[in-house]
Structure 1
């Protein structure tokens, strides 16, 4: 389980890639990716996430609330079917742009 962050300062865009289960063990690392970057847009790449639990869902909601951004400024991309299903059942498509 790991998190990789790429920051494009010129375009004020951050891409966060998560590898492995997206759960409680990543809380601090995930928060560091977006704190102090309120003026950036974000893409969360979940291609290597095969499992997301309630802590992972909570981390995404905390990020959304912290950034106070509108739909489309936090994109969730490259979801495996089982992860996408959990996000859709949890109605995350109402707060995030899921691609």
Structure 2
């Protein structure tokens, strides 16, 4: 499986642990987990600890999640991103849209 999902119902926090590739191949799973006809969670954690490659569709998925979760009011943390991924996120300006840990 390329994506592991955990929903903490007490805190209403949805955690997505991405697999090795965060790209279009996980679009359906990502969409169903985050956007698929459900109300937004209170907060989200996107764990990139296992990700070795990420493409522009991954950036698009993160933007769709942000919009679904409330835009500027959204609580979305991106955690465990390696140096290269953090650089990609910063170049794309995502450090201004998301909390990077």
Asked if TM exceeds 0.5, the reply is yes
Structure 1: give runs of 5+ residues left out of the alignment: none
The correspondence of residues 6-21 of structure 1 with structure 2, limited to 5 A, is: 6-21=6-21
Structure 2: give runs of 5+ residues left out of the alignment: none
Q: Give the match for residue 29 of structure 2.
A: 29
- The 1:72–1:81 alpha-carbon spacing in structure 2 relative to 1, beyond 3 Å, is farther
Contact 1:51 1:82 in 2 (8 A): no
Q: 1:40 aligned to 39, 42, 54, which one? A: 42
Contact 2:12 2:42 in 1 (8 A): yes
Q: Structure 2: how far apart are the matches of 1:46 and 1:84?
A: 10
Offset of residue 69 of structure 1: 3.9
What TM-score, normalized to structure 2?
Answer: 0.90
Of 82-91 and 67-76, more deviation after overlay is shown by: 67-76
Q: Structure 2: how far apart are the matches of 1:14 and 1:61?
A: 16
The correspondence of residues 1-99 of structure 1 with structure 2, limited to 5 A, is: 2-35=2-35, 36-70=38-72, 73-99=75-101
- The 1:86–1:71 alpha-carbon spacing in structure 2 relative to 1, beyond 3 Å, is farther
Q: Structure 2: how far apart are the matches of 1:37 and 1:90?
A: 28
What TM-score, normalized to structure 1?
Answer: 0.92
